[in-house]
Amino acid sequence: METKPTRRARLRQQTIAEIKEAALKALAESGPAGITLRGIARELGMTAAALYGYFDTRDQLISTLAADAYNELADSHEAALAALPPEEAASRVRAVCDTFRTWSVANPAAFRLIYGDGLPGFSPPEDVTKAARRCCMALLDVVAGAWDHAPAAIRDDEAEWSDFQESLVTPAREQFPHLPPQALGLTLRIWGRMYGPVMLEVFGHLGQQIVDPSQVYRREVEAIIEMLGLSE
């Protein structure tokens, strides 16, 4: 029989959620420098000492926010892929690309945290790195499904496993042992093409130039599919 959380536990989780929301609001308004425990405590009508009962340091709060963001995005990727059969390679590429833009536009503060301004002196702990790798592995998954269709120029590209950080190589080789290092390089190239127009849209640059940023992104996604040899 499942044990229901106590009232004390529910109140604690509610307060943690409020702290996270206030932190993301501060990030959206003032950038990374705007996230301070004292400022968040003031926003929530708490004492700084009370806030330290939930997060020991600003870095711990930022780590929690970053891990949440990566995991939420990875959940979206994985759910979209689970709804499609492996043989629908082009649709799977679109699914990951679409979930990336949809999540990013809906969560601009979280996007800015994990893909925008760096945080001086902040070194992400293992749980953040692990969550980030989930996003990368979702994209590598669609590359794996398209690999047999990829043009020779891509498949024969010069690449070695030593070109990449071990923290990325290890999960890639464990989850996709049949793929060569060229596939991982291709994954990063695709991510760059996804990130560019989304970053411009989220940071408000693209909207100053065109009416519908989604159309720019859609054309880029179709170009990625063509690059992979999956044009229909």
**Domain map (residue ranges) of the chain:** 1-56, 58-227
Secondary structure tally for the chain: helices H, strands E: 11, 0
- The pLDDT assigned to 75 comes to 97
How many angstroms separate the CA atoms of 63 and 127, rounded? 8
Single pTM value for the model: 0.89
Residue range 163-187, pLDDT digits in tens: 999 989 999 999 999 999 999 999 9
- The pLDDT assigned to 119 comes to 72
In the chain, what percentage of residues exceed pLDDT 90? 68
DSSP letter assigned to residue 105: H
Distance of CA 223 to the CA centre of its chain: 21
**What architecture is domain 58-227?**
Orthogonal Bundle (1.10)
- The pLDDT assigned to 31 comes to 78
Residue 136 · residue 175 · CB < 8 Å:
no
Does the pLDDT at position 6 exceed 90?
Answer: no
Residue range 120-132, pLDDT digits in tens: 777 888 999 999 9
More confident residue, 189 or 118: 189
Residue range 70-119, pLDDT digits in tens: 999 999 999 999 999 999 999 999 999 999 999 999 999 999 999 987 77
C-alpha pair distances (Å), 175 with each of 41, 111, 178? 42, 26, 9
In the chain, what percentage of residues exceed pLDDT 70? 97
Domain 1-56 falls under CATH 1.10.1740: no
- pLDDT interval class at 202 (50, 70, 90): very high
* Main-chain dihedrals φ then ψ at residue 210, nearest 5 degrees: -135, 160
- The pLDDT assigned to 232 comes to 59
- The pLDDT assigned to 30 comes to 83
DSSP code per residue over 37-64: HHHHHHHHT--HHHHTTT-SSHHHHHHH
